[in-house]
Structure 1
Amino acid sequence: MVNKEAYTNFALVYDELMTDIPYDAYVDLISLATSGIKGKKIIDVGCGTGLLSVKLSKSGAIVTGIDLSKDMLNIAEKRANDLSLEIGFHELPMQEIEGEEQFDAAVIAIDSLNYLPDKENVLTTFKGLYSVLNSGGVLIFDVHSTFKTDVIFMEGPFTFDNDRIAYIWHTEEGDEEHSVLSELSFFVKEESGLYRRFDERHEQRTFHVFEYVDLLQEAGFTVERIFADWEDEPPYEESERIFFQARK
């Protein structure tokens, strides 16, 4: 699965590849679940380059971001500093979150949870987040559906080219059920006009909706809402991204 060395080069092109992600919709989801973001303490888990963290902070939240990639966090810190935003960023795997109650909301956005290798690590993460959420605090996250890992991802290879960045994305079935191994070759245009290549290897795994529900409940959460693909509709057989909202 992903490790601390992953994303070293990817961090430099990550933002450009994530322009289609509706982070504002995530802000709205959190605002709805917390009855307004302003003044709320929020932990952004797997924060990456801080795109969501910054949006939450600009909306008035008190934000803490964690990620296991130092390179991603360096970009996140620069982004926040350039905007004069006070956001605490910390290098930490999500499975190691623990502590006293302090946050009103926790968010694990854009399938970051799918980098955990098994249900034990997912449960550990849920328990850790439960411990740091205030009573009544909310956890919101999204994951790949089993349809996406088992069917959509197997339709590769996928390609992308915006003239500055190009990639070839090969996928294959992982060793575990509902897991996918991705091997990406990136080509980034330098000022000289030549392209620099680097390669990334990632593995993600997901579980059935009812398995996430069981893990959330085992951690102590009450599941409030499950929906799919950024719509206020329940998941169906060919849904690709599943959202969960759970309350302490």
Structure 2
Amino acid sequence: MSYQHFAGLYDRLMEDAPYDMWVSFVNNAIESYSNGPASSLLDIGCGTGEISTRLAQIGYHVTGIDLSEEMLAVARGKAEQNGLEIPFYQQDMRDLNGFTDQDIAVIFCDSLNYLRTTEDVKTTFQAVFKSMRNDGLLLFDVHTLYKIGEVFSEHTFALNDEEISYIWECHPGEEEGSVYHDLSFFLHIGDAVYRRYDENHFQKTYSIETYTSILNEAGFEILALTADFTDRTPVETSERVFFVARKKA
């Protein structure tokens, strides 16, 4: 997914996103499951670098990967502003190049849900496998089928703010677990003048069993499954599932 106009607006719209909770998830997973020190971290689908920056600030050696050059431009500026040296590369998560022996790989903020097929997910996990050291940890989260089907599909969300407003319509896709997001943004540029930007996004998710099967086939073992930024086991109405997986030697 290449965010176009959205990249420049993303951080303003995501001001209340629970970034620190993702960071806590990383720290807790490493403390609980890492075999040995964990320093090098590959942030896949890093977007504007908000999580990358937070992880680098607490001592991880972070490398950020994203498909959108527009998002990466924001991430680079953010790292520079914070006095951090974080390398950011434009790459497809299905075809990672130049990385070996990474201690940790993370794919957060439903980045995996932009992959359209199970083959894409499998290819991504295989690419991550090749980039990691033996016993390295892969940490990621995805939308649940419940969230795609019940929370998103056929619902409209809106924000009316002085600086920026949006209308966000969600329409079910042709396949189970898929949804189209049609977004219109209105950015205040002076007096009573607003500039409109339109974005169309597609997301897809699968059952926990499907992700588990693909992970195992790619060479990972699952260590933990939790839901919604808690330590609780996912239930039918969970909206986001978190995986902790280890690369098998």
Asked whether the two chains share a fold, i.e. TM above 0.5, the reply is yes
Instruction: Tell me the distance in 2 between the aligned counterparts of 1:39 and 1:147.
Output: 34
Tell me if structure 1 keeps the 8 A contact 2:49–2:72: yes
How far is the alpha carbon of 1:165 from its aligned partner? 1.1
Tell me if structure 1 keeps the 8 A contact 2:38–2:103: no
Instruction: Tell me the distance in 2 between the aligned counterparts of 1:56 and 1:233.
Output: 24
| Percent identity of equivalent pairs | 43
Whether 2:30 is the aligned partner of 1:31: answer no
Q: Superposition pairs for residues 6-45 of structure 1, below 5 Å?
A: 7-35=3-31, 40-45=39-44
Which residue is 1:113 aligned to?
112
Instruction: Tell me the distance in 2 between the aligned counterparts of 1:191 and 1:132.
Output: 48
Amino acid at match of 1:31: N
Whether 2:205 is the aligned partner of 1:206: answer yes
How far is the alpha carbon of 1:17 from its aligned partner? 1.2
Amino acid at match of 1:34: I
Aligned positions, number = 244
Which residue is 1:246 aligned to?
245
Instruction: Tell me the distance in 2 between the aligned counterparts of 1:102 and 1:85.
Output: 22
Tell me if structure 2 keeps the 8 A contact 1:99–1:131: no
Amino acid at match of 1:97: L
RMSD between aligned alpha carbons?
1.7
Q: Superposition pairs for residues 105-144 of structure 1, below 5 Å?
A: 105-144=104-143
Q: Which moved more, 1:68-77 or 1:95-104?
A: 95-104
Provide Cα deviations, 1:35-91, integer angstroms capped at 9, x if missing partner.
39x970001010000000000000111110010111100000000011110101000
Q: Superposition pairs for residues 1-248 of structure 1, below 5 Å?
A: 2=1, 4=2, 7-35=3-31, 40-98=39-97, 101-248=100-247
Tell me if structure 1 keeps the 8 A contact 2:154–2:172: no
Instruction: Tell me the distance in 2 between the aligned counterparts of 1:100 and 1:41.
Output: 11
Provide Cα deviations, 1:117-152, integer angstroms capped at 9, x if missing partner.
000000000011111111111011111100011111
Quickly say closer, same or farther: Cα 1:100–1:49, change in 2 above 3 A: closer
Tell me if structure 2 keeps the 8 A contact 1:34–1:104: no
SS of residue matched to 1:195? strand
Q: Which moved more, 1:80-89 or 1:25-34?
A: 25-34
Tell me if structure 2 keeps the 8 A contact 1:98–1:131: no
How far is the alpha carbon of 1:34 from its aligned partner? 2.3
How far is the alpha carbon of 1:102 from its aligned partner? 2.2
Quickly say closer, same or farther: Cα 1:100–1:158, change in 2 above 3 A: closer
How far is the alpha carbon of 1:33 from its aligned partner? 2.3
Amino acid at match of 2:71: M
**TM-score normalised over the length of structure 2:** 0.94
Q: Unmatched 5+ residue regions in structure 1? A: none
Amino acid at match of 1:108: I
Amino acid at match of 2:107: I
